[in-house]
Structure 1
Amino acid sequence: MLVMNKVLIICTAFLTVATASVITSCSNNRSTGIEYARNMYDPIAYNPDQPNKNFKDGKTAQTPPAGTSPVGFDKNENYPNTPEGYQAASAGLSNPLPVTVPTLEQGKTLYLNMCSHCHGNEGKGDGSIVKMEKFPAPPSYSTGNSSRGGSMKDLTDGKIYHTITYGLNLMGPHKYQLTPEQRWKIVMYVHELQKLQ
């Protein structure tokens, strides 16, 4: 009997709360309800195009100091995604990282995570995607020929870096997935794969 009374009290309380919620939610269609974190709607920071009394010229967007570059900016991206840019990158870019065992290991890890699904673990163009027979195989780094002409084993630092950055044929650009330093580490490891037979 005591258990029945408790169940009845709980059910009555639940129905009362549910009824009150339905009635109050339907009473005013113009109400947006309770506002949570109002500062998310009205930002505290200035927008770049707003006037700003904190600076002498009254502008929010300021010219950066001389000799600085924006976060994520890569000076090697001055080579456009054109055949001419590819050739200019070949002549003008070389890997700035020293060839060390830790750097090569990091390059190998990045290659295995980002490239091996198409190019294969040893760069022979036999990756898991290719084995599914959904995509054509990319050329082998050691024996294949580049679709831009020349042998894959003769690709320079700049050509590999440019291709990783902008992509080629079915290979998409990796400019936003990999930092410049990560791309250079992959370039370093690809040179090791070019030596395999």
Structure 2
Amino acid sequence: MKSVYKITLLFGITILVSSCHNNAAPNYQYFPNMYESVGYETYAESNAFKNGKEGQLPAEGSLDRGTVPYEYENSTAGYELAKANLKSPLETMDKDLEKGKELFEIYCATCHGNSGNGKGKLVEREKFLGVPSYKDRVITEGSIFHIVTYGINSMGSHANQLSAQERWIVADYVLKLKSEL
């Protein structure tokens, strides 16, 4: 007799639970916008932002992911400060002359020449004139990094092509070339 009551109770609970379930319209949705998101048209006005038209600006003073702040400004005074004070953060183990040579040949040798003498292909073809030889310059690793970061005269910035670590590797390789001239 007890087993009949248990079976009846279990059957009743099963019917009760299954009768409340509806696959077409679930009872509760947590975070319904994740299930039924609002579609926005590209470049359309929206009330999702404060002013209704434009996207939100990043917080003041925030940096892009992966950006390393560089404290020296793009001026003659910033160059002189970098030349006097800036030192490479690379340890001796991180200095890779083969990688430096590879990067130098890709980005620098077309103007500065493979040996750093200022006689690259573009100078020989008279596309750029006045590219200095490293032999004639008083340069430090800080000044090289600063110039590769910001550019100078006809030379543009290489900061968008080389990461900070790669710029330090190139600076180390340029100093090696200067010592060989």
**TM-score clears 0.5:** yes
Shift of 1:105: 1.0
- Is 1:193 aligned to 2:177, yes or no? yes
Match of 2:156 among 153, 160, 172: 172
Match of 1:98 among 91, 105, 119: 91
Residue 195 of structure 1 aligns to a residue whose secondary structure is: helix
In structure 1, how many angstroms separate the alpha carbons of the residues matched to 2:67 and 2:58? 18
Unpaired runs of 5+ residues, structure 1, are: 1-38, 52-59, 145-151
Deviations 1:13-72 (A, max 9, x none): xxxxxxxxxxxxxxxxxxxxxxxxxx6x636xxx9x826xxxxxxxx77759xxx85314
Contact conserved, 1:118 with 1:137, CA < 8 A, in 2?
no
What does residue range 107-122 of structure 1 map to in structure 2 within 5 Å?
A: 107-122=100-115
In structure 2, how many angstroms separate the alpha carbons of the residues matched to 1:172 and 1:62? 27
Deviations 1:105-155 (A, max 9, x none): 11111000000000000000010101112221411112x2xxxxxxx2x31
Distance 1:94 1:131, change over 3 A: same
Shift of 1:164: 0.6
Distance 1:161 1:101, change over 3 A: closer
Distance 1:118 1:61, change over 3 A: closer
CA RMSD, Structure 1 to Structure 2 (Å): 3.1
- Is 1:134 aligned to 2:133, yes or no? no
In structure 2, how many angstroms separate the alpha carbons of the residues matched to 1:87 and 1:97? 21
Give 2:31's aligned residue: none
Contact conserved, 2:95 with 2:169, CA < 8 A, in 1?
no
Residue 74 of structure 1 aligns to a residue whose secondary structure is: coil
In structure 2, how many angstroms separate the alpha carbons of the residues matched to 1:165 and 1:61? 26
- Is 1:71 aligned to 2:65, yes or no? yes
Give 1:80's aligned residue: 73
Contact conserved, 1:99 with 1:188, CA < 8 A, in 2?
no
TM-score by length of 1: 0.60
Distance 1:133 1:97, change over 3 A: same
The list of structure 1 runs, each at least 4 consecutive aligned residues, that deviate by more than 6 angstroms after superposition, is none
The aligned amino acid for 2:49 is Q
The aligned amino acid for 2:131 is P
The aligned amino acid for 2:156 is G
In structure 2, how many angstroms separate the alpha carbons of the residues matched to 1:100 and 1:79? 26
Give 2:140's aligned residue: 156
Unpaired runs of 5+ residues, structure 2, are: 1-38, 51-55
Based on CA coordinates, which of the two structures has the bigger radius of gyration? 2
The aligned amino acid for 2:75 is T
TM-score by length of 2: 0.64
Identity of aligned pairs, percent?
37
Distance 1:61 1:100, change over 3 A: same
The aligned amino acid for 1:190 is V
